[in-house]
Amino acid sequence: MNKIRTFMLRATVGVFAAGTLAAGLMTAPTAGARTSQDVGRQAVTAQTPVTAQAPVTAQAPVTAQAPFAAQTQRAGLTPAQASELQGRVDGYLAEEPGGRQVSANRIATRGGDLVVAAPGQRYARDLAGPGASGRAPAACAYGHLCLYRPGDSRDYYRCGTYSLPWVGDGTFNNNQTRGTTARFLNSDRSIRWTSRAPQTGTATWTGVFYVVPC
């Protein structure tokens, strides 16, 4: 009887051990097998890498002529002529401290205005104003001192001392208050000649380095 119990106990232990071993084999990963975490990691690394975006091409800078294109078109200037005009304006801006372009061919300066003749204009006329064809000189307003040379004009309406980087011959109109004296100075600021308003005449700008309207 004891032998039978012993045999049955050993058989039960063996069956239990075999079942435990089988369960372990079913749940434990085998060598080279992938767990759910491994699959997840592989899915992440298998994604297509993000490539660097193509660099953004820099936009072309807006030239100073762009805001005044309508004025040059209305005046009948070709793109080449508008570019030529802007080149002359840019040259004056480099010479005029504090100068500011306010139209296609007019610069506001410390002393007044400078107008550059557009291609086809005999006399400098502001393309933003009336009578912009330039077939006749612009009138010099009362209280102003106006200087002219072929292609350009200067209109002074503020007292002060201003440089005049002009050469060649031209004309002037001293239309300031009667008796006001305009002075034209040498390089050392000594007086070269004067004009007492009202007065008009011809002038040689070569040698005149500064203008004192009043």
pLDDT tens-digit series, residues 111-146: 999 999 999 888 899 999 876 677 777 889 999 999
Gap between the Cα atoms of 159 and 111, Å rounded: 7
Torsion of CA 122, 205, 112, 154, to 10 degrees: -10
Q: Is the pLDDT confidence value at 98 over 60?
A: yes
Q: Read off the pLDDT band of 107 (50, 70, 90).
A: very high
Interatomic CA distance for residues 51 and 48, integer angstroms: 9
Q: Assign 2 to helix, strand or coil.
A: helix
Q: Are strands 152-156 and 144-149 parallel, antiparallel or unpaired?
A: antiparallel
H/E segment holding residue 91: helix 79-95
DSSP helix/strand/coil, 193: strand
Q: Smallest Cα–Cα separation from 71: which of 130, 114, 122?
A: 130
Q: Is the peptide bond before 198 cis (omega within 30 degrees of 0)?
A: yes
- Mean pLDDT over 2-23 rounds to 39
DSSP single-letter state for residue 119:
T
Q: Any idea which of 26-35, 154-163, 190-199 has the lowest mean pLDDT?
A: 26-35
Reference 155, options 130, 169, 170, 172; nearest CA is 172
**Is 60 exceeded by the pLDDT of residue 28?**
no
Asked whether 65 and 72 are in contact (CB, 8 A), the reply is: yes
Distances (CA, A) of 158 to 11, 111, 154: 123, 5, 12
What's the pLDDT at 16? 39
Please report where in the chains the tokens 């300066």 appear, as a residue: 109
Rounded Cα–Cα distance for residues 78 and 89 (Å): 17
